[in-house]
Structure 1
């Protein structure tokens, strides 16, 4: 995604960090990633994404999916993509957790 979630915004240090984190995910099963670590990594309904993300899905002709997968890299940092037949296609780098912001309950 161009703009706030684009890969073009990454510096070398962040790219190396991402490579290492993705390599760690590759050592795990999807059950370990999405079930055991559900608090951090999970599917999100497209309708719950920010307007900019929903618009971008239409622009890249991926608006026929119902859910995207969010993988947590650190506190706010996420990568987003589509999981299809065990293969995740990465779409966005979300360093500030803005694609689908979460809000604390009772605040």
Structure 2
């Protein structure tokens, strides 16, 4: 009987009880310790509202993807609990933008108690919900509208 197992050409084989895998450390460097590093989910992106990512121009999408890739090497502690940028958490009940609150209610996410954000430039912010090391992306706020600063020029 012929084996139905597939191998990726050029990858060293590693046998398991069920299938043949490549050497993960060679194929995906850093993957063994990714449990404490930030990673992304896009299931809850709000593309029906003003801060969706589906209509971004290619150049801006490239900028966003470069920023996401740039922080994937960092741990949650480095991003959010350092007392500095780029990450912050906000209590949902203090969200000042009524349209944003309405969007969350429409998406049935208004029971969340905290929303997180990553600052990727002067005004650009990525908002979502952080669960362990997974950032569930909701909005790309290029104009700092979701949670406007009280400071000038931010």
Answer whether TM exceeds 0.5 for this pair: yes
1:47-93 superposed Cα distances (whole Å, 9 cap, x missing partner):
22211111111111111111111100100000100011221110001
Alignment partner, residue 35 of structure 1: 81
Which of 86, 90, 96 is the aligned partner of 2:133? Answer: 86
Flag the structure with higher helix content.
1
Cα distance, 1:37 vs structure 2:
5.7
Q: Write the mapping of 1:1-107 to structure 2, written as runs, cut at 5 A.
A: 1=46, 2-36=48-82, 38-49=84-95, 50-104=97-151
The CA RMSD over aligned residues, in Å, is 1.6
TM-score, length-scaled by structure 1 = 0.89
The structure with the larger Rg is 2
Unaligned segments of structure 2, at least 5 residues:
1-45
SS in 1 for 2:139: strand
**How many positions carry a matched residue from both structures?**
105
Instruction: Compare 53-62 and 29-38 and name the one that shifted more.
Output: 29-38
SS in 2 for 1:20: helix
Structure 1 stretches of 4+ moved >6 Å: none
Unaligned segments of structure 1, at least 5 residues:
none
